[in-house]
Structure 1
């Protein structure tokens, strides 16, 4: 590089930043520079403005407006109370207002920021004017105070601009703003906190109407990970609040927190209890959820009992020890909100203990399942039986097993039995006996024809529920017109510098794993229905060391797409093929990354000696016409679910790889079991979605949409939907 190379790069970057500030963020830049210029010109940058004689003439508040100094609403936002506050004030305004201007445009950002500041100050002042003579000590004290700063307008701006974000970031940002404003007004309670509170209260509902967009107001249900995040965050906020009340007591609108402060040993005990509970909640532990329920119930009950004792003390004339009732109410309310959140999110904490997973059937665990699967081999879906959410029925000889889920009194066995040759029928018979002895309805889901032939001998029925799609690698050649899309994807990837990597995700750098998780979170949040489970894996399953992961990575290290492949054991420890599970892509990334990843994975597996790959089965979709009455019902169900999950669009997508179709079946005793089996399967795939919500969506009249091609983008990327293989729509 020439000597002056580094010297010319810096001015170039500076020029780009200046161009962005001038053309994209003119309002934010102008206000920020004005704040700094006035701070320098008036000396407020090194001498506290509140100590100046002119302060009442520039600061807003009830005294200023009652004295006719209306201009303070315009001058106050440009100053800070003390020099130390300039750094957080200027940075927060630049961040919040700049974000709003970037997302909303200059004119709308100006309207929201200036209007939000003006309205929130006036509402706060009017609130104090109405309540200061009511005997409320806090209102009387704050009504006589003055304040400066543009934080109310900045918070209003970011609150409105949050409507432009995609979930889950929209809900996360709003939750963070509300937590900050709520904790500040309760435990601090200054005029600034009151302005912030009203700014958010007025701005958050205003976002959708201001933007005039239906999409901006459409909130999705949080994913399981989001529910866990909110519960842990709520418990963390409550713990921090207890610490603040104990070590930094304040005097907010509901009274002094000194009376609720904990002793040092109580704080230590609280931390020792809460930290492991939060760690368990983060992992979705059912035991941790119960512990959190007990903790919140204990705190609520303790506050209620203590409040009752103090009330009795007041009745009998001993008021010296009486604590402010509003403070009792607020403290109890916060813990009650956490309790309600725990109850509402109980479906996100279904990870049972090992003891509970082994309650039914003989002893079994994922490690034993992997050993037996490697020894005997299985179907293309058999690796799913090793996932930790399953329960296991192990045959009497300990050499075979069936993995199953228990819902609505039904034991749903997944796929074929993992058993030595000639032992599958005995394993099925023992499984049926176990179910009958425990009052469970047995069924086999996604079983192959060989297994259902054995159940037919027992008088069972069967119905096709999916179609596996197999690609024979030994004869695979991307030649002819039918492979045009695949060849185009491979050629374009080479031209654009997109590299294929076949890795184990758990061994990848943290930066790569974080990108994969971000892509997955974006996909989960962009759906109109909750994330499905059971035979549908995710990033956690892809982290398994025995699972291979295909990545589409550009020259800058950006991950554009990801696929995960489960091993298909054929016996004696040999892997004969691989099954597609997760398939997700970056919304604004390399468009044909799905075709590129599948094709590249097929070639890589063929070079390693694999015989086939399975693109897995698309539920409620097949290449033939329904013949059985139950199949016709399932076909109608597939039509209803198509707009939400796109199983049939997925099935059509797989067709471009010219696969061989293998039917997968549901085997059951007789038609009388079908209603319960249907409910059980619904709970297995959608454990957090009730029948009422499904019925409501079905009545919504949403029609199936035509399949989007790679050019039809939404929000900068292709709409991605997943089936049993996570394949895109």
Structure 2
């Protein structure tokens, strides 16, 4: 990127966020002019004239509501405040525009400072030490307005990022006000609570409400568990004086260490819904609650015995964690159905009726399928029922359940099958996704799921197929040359061929595999074993001496069975295996594919699919968040398998294109899905093998 490009982008950002830019500059300029860049503002003689707080309002200094946002209490506060201003206000301004953002900022600031002052005016007469202390405090800064703008920007996020961000802001604000308990912490809590309530009430931000999903229950429990761990560390290291009481760091290191270590051990289990982690969290929670119940009544006795000067010395230490543990225990009990995953991987299968290969084949022939549906019959896939007549095939790698292709269901049943797959996968503690789904399945994906194009299925329609015209020149050339050189085409069932043909097929395939330095890929790419399937057709090119020059295998594509007679039918064929002999007939692949298409056209089939090259997407497709992950995987494998080159080769047959999609819950799943896809395609290869082979191929300058 050139300096001109960088400058143009900077100018564009400033034009889009003038209020954020102006406020940031004002904070810096005022801090420099008043000396608060190097000294706290609270030590300046004019501080009380510009700061908000209950004393200022009691004395009639209402103008401080307008002056306080432009000052910062301490120089170090700028380090945390400026990211909040730029991130919160800037994001809101980019999303909602300057005028609306100014309104949100002003409203949040006013509600925060006046709301906190009102609360203190009501509760300080009770003599509550915390409230009395805060009723005499002052505060400056734009954080209430910035936090409000941030909460409204979060409300515009899609699910589940909206919930995650709200939890993060809520936990941070809650810990701050309950433990640190400064005036600005109370103001933040008031402004955030108001912003959350209003953003959920306004029609523009309202989202359908309902019972949290299993995933959301686990996420909320994880957030609260992490918050408790942070609180335990605060108890040990940080003195505080909040509404739950005062604390000098007198916690037992052993007690805190045990809690924190246990939390660290079970946190990932809570995220994945393990039953054992749920039980452990409940036991730890009940233990901490019981400790508080036992200790609190003994405090007066400890004071009488002279062990403590006042119960206030430890009441915060005992009561505050117990409040959070009680909240976590209640949550875990309410969400108990979300924590049913067994610890042993061998037991973490999808809770659905398992199908044999024969049962899946029968359902596939009855319901029909897509161009890659026959791949679900291959070894390595697990198969479950989808309703009474449908089926789903998936593989489990790295904690991800990858459904292969569309669910095998009757037309219109994709949505229900995908929703059920999501439910049972999450119940098993697995991340659900669908690889190489059709456009119809992408449209029927569960609410909140994302879709991104990962490949193009290349389809040649067979009706009236003729290799005429300039576009078919390379194909005609290959067929004419084969005729001149005595290379013939045969369409066979490989399992029925004599041993010498099968031996040549295996030799050609082993030679191709050896050149790669890696095992043959799996998942959506078949091997000779899959070509031996009696249902598969195999095209071979043989010369006059019986030498095999190339081989292609074709998988059946079933249409829905006739509703009256129940007769099943094959509507097309999908290209799978492509192997050629080194030093053999040059354009053998062009010849084999063209001859196969011509043969299948004469047999009355509707189309052939040349299949979509894995991890290849159309150049003009809209960029999505998964692109970088797929590009990295594709770049790693491209020197070895040449997917992009293969995709370009298929364009010689003038196909039409249909997009294949990756369906996933949200962007947080993408890193794990990327790893899982790599394992699905190369289950026997280590990461070291991939890197070493790619490096050696690149250094040798080997063609794809």
Q: TM-score, normalised by structure 2?
A: 0.55
Could you tell me which residue of structure 1 aligns to residue 169 of structure 2? 177
Do residues 469 (structure 1) and 462 (structure 2) align? no
1:284 is displaced (CA, Å) by 2.5
- Contact 1:238–1:335 (CA under 8 A) maintained in structure 2: yes
Contact 1:505 1:549 in 2 (8 A): no
Residues 186-245 of structure 1 deviation map (CA, whole Å, 9 limit, x = unaligned): 1100010010010011111101444x33x6332465544443333222112112201111
**Equivalent-residue separation in structure 2 for 1:209 and 1:543 (angstroms):** 32
2:486 is matched with none
Compared with structure 1, are the counterparts of its residues 266 and 165 closer, same or farther at alpha carbon in structure 2 (3 Å cutoff)?
Answer: same
Query: How far, CA to CA, are the matches of 1:108 and 1:351 in structure 2?
Result: 46
Counterpart in 2 of 1:129?
121
Question: Residues 63 and 224 from structure 1, CA distance in 2 versus in 1: closer, same or farther, beyond 3 angstroms?
Answer: same
Instruction: Compute the displacement of 1:67 (Å).
Output: 2.2
The match for 2:291 is 302
Three-state SS of the structure 2 residue aligned to 1:205 is helix
d(CA) in 1 for partners of 2:96 and 2:424?
A: 38
For residues 598 and 251 of structure 1, do their structure 2 counterparts lie closer, same or farther at Cα, with a shift above 3 Å needed? Answer: farther
What is the alpha-carbon distance in structure 1 between the residues aligned to residue 451 and residue 343 of structure 2?
A: 40
Q: Go from structure 1 to structure 2 and tell me whether the alpha carbon gap of 1:244 and 1:584 turns closer, same or farther (over 3 Å shift).
A: closer
Q: Find the counterpart in structure 1 of residue 10 from structure 2.
A: 17
Kindly state the Cα deviation for residue 129 of structure 1 after the two structures are TM-superposed: 2.0
The alignment of Structure 1 onto Structure 2 pairs a total of residues equal to: 461
Do residues 111 (structure 1) and 111 (structure 2) align? no
Mapping of residues 310-321 of structure 1, within 5 Å: 310=299, 320=309
Q: Does the 8 A contact of 1:602 with 1:613 survive in 2?
A: no
Q: Is the 8 A contact 2:245 2:316 kept in 1?
A: yes
Is 1:203 paired with 2:143? no
Deviation at 1:48, TM superposition (A): 2.2
Q: Secondary structure at the match of 1:298?
A: helix
- Equivalent pair of 1:25/1:101 in contact (CA under 8 Å): yes
Q: Is the 8 A contact 1:538 1:582 kept in 2?
A: no
Cα 1:539–1:331 shift into 2, 3 Å: closer
Partners of 1:26 and 1:315 lie apart in 2 by: 63
Deviations 1:294-325 (A, max 9, x none): 11111111211222333677899998563576
1:414 to 320, 340, 354: 354
- 1:251 and 1:165 map into 2 onto residues whose CA distance is 35
1:79 maps to 2:71 = yes
**Between 41-50 and 225-234, the greater mean CA deviation after superposition:** 225-234
Q: Matched residue of 1:101: which SS? A: helix
SS in 1 for 2:7: helix
Change (3 A) 1:351 1:44: same
Identify if the C-alpha distance between structure 1 residues 238 and 121 changes in structure 2 by more than 3 Å, giving closer, same or farther: same
334, 341, 344: which one aligns with 2:324: 334
CA distance in 1, matches of 2:431, 2:556: 20
SS in 2 for 1:204: helix
User: Under a length normalisation based on structure 1, what TM-score does the superposition of the two structures give?
Assistant: 0.53
Q: Is the deviation greater in 529-538 or in 97-106?
A: 529-538
CA distance in 1, matches of 2:213, 2:556: 28
Deviation at 1:248, TM superposition (A): 1.2
**1:274 maps to which residue?**
263
Match of 2:88 among 96, 105, 109: 96
| Secondary structure in 2 matching 1:251 | strand
2:143 pairs with one of 143, 146, 151: 151
Higher-Rg member (1/2): 2
Q: CA deviation at 1:529?
A: 12
- In the alignment, the residues of structure 1 paired with residue 416 and residue 155 of structure 2 have an alpha-carbon distance, to the nearest angstrom, of 17
**Paired residue for 1:242?**
232
Q: Deviations over 1:689-729 (max 9, x none)?
A: xxxxxxxxxxxxxxxxxxxx99xxxxxx9xxxxxxxxxxxx
CA distance in 2, matches of 1:35, 1:42: 11
Q: 2:241 maps to what in 1? A: 251
| Unmatched runs of 5 consecutive residues or more in structure 2 | 376-394, 404-414, 461-521, 537-553, 567-605, 610-657, 660-665, 667-704
CA distance, structure 1, for counterparts of residue 557 and residue 284 of structure 2: 46
Which residue among 410, 420, 444 is the counterpart of 1:532? Answer: 420
**Mapped partners of 1:475, 1:248: distance in 2:** 62
1:34 to 12, 26, 29: 26
1:556-576 per-position Cα deviation (integer Å, ceiling 9, x unaligned) = xxxx9999xxxxxxxxxxxxx
Tell me, what secondary structure is at the counterpart of 2:206? helix
**CA pair 321-624 structure 1, distance change in 2 beyond 3 A:** farther
1:265 aligns with 254
Question: How far apart, CA to CA, are the structure 1 residues paired with 2:524 and 2:419?
Answer: 31
- Following superposition, the deviation at residue 49 of structure 1 comes to 1.5
Note if 1:187 corresponds to 2:207: no
Measured after TM superposition, the shift of residue 174 of structure 1 is: 0.9
Q: Deviations over 1:233-290 (max 9, x none)?
A: 211211220111112121112211348x531222222233222222332333211111
Aligned equivalent of 2:631: none
Matches within 5 A, 1:365-444: 388-389=348-349, 405=351, 413-416=353-356
Match of 1:499 in 2: none
CA distance in 1, matches of 2:165, 2:245: 29
Consecutive unaligned residues of structure 1, counting only runs of 5 or more, are 1-5, 355-364, 367-386, 391-404, 406-411, 419-445, 450-463, 477-503, 517-526, 553-559, 564-580, 628-655, 660-708, 711-716, 718-729
Q: Partners in 1 of 2:224 and 2:168 — Cα distance?
A: 11
**Would the aligned equivalents of 1:583 and 1:594 in 2 still touch at CA under 8 Å?**
no
Match of 2:617 in 1: none
Aligned 8 A contact 2:342 2:428 in 1? no
Query: In the TM superposition, what whole-angstrom CA distance separates every residue of 1:55-102 from its partner, at most 9, and x where no partner exists?
Result: 111111122222222221111111111112112212211110111112
| Contact 1:50-1:81 within 8 A present in 2 as well | yes
Distance 1:603 1:277 in 2: 36
Matched with 2:549 is none
Aligned to 1:343: 333
Change (3 A) 1:540 1:389: closer
Contact in 2 for aligned 1:123/1:198 (Cα 8 Å): yes
What CA deviation, in whole Å up to 9, does each residue of 1:412-446 have, x standing for no partner? Answer: 6422389xxxxxxxxxxxxxxxxxxxxxxxxxxx7
Q: How far apart are the structure 2 equivalents of 1:129 and 1:614? A: 78
The one of 280, 285, 307 aligned to 2:274: 285
Cα gap change, 1:125 to 1:471, in 2 (>3 Å):
closer
Kindly indicate whether the alpha-carbon contact (under 8 Å) linking 1:185 and 1:197 is maintained by their aligned counterparts in 2: yes
Give 1:602 deviation, angstroms: 12
Cα distance in 2 for residues equivalent to 1:303 and 1:616: 66
User: Cα offset for 1:176?
Assistant: 0.9
* Structure 2 CA distance for aligned equivalents of residues 101 and 80 of structure 1: 22
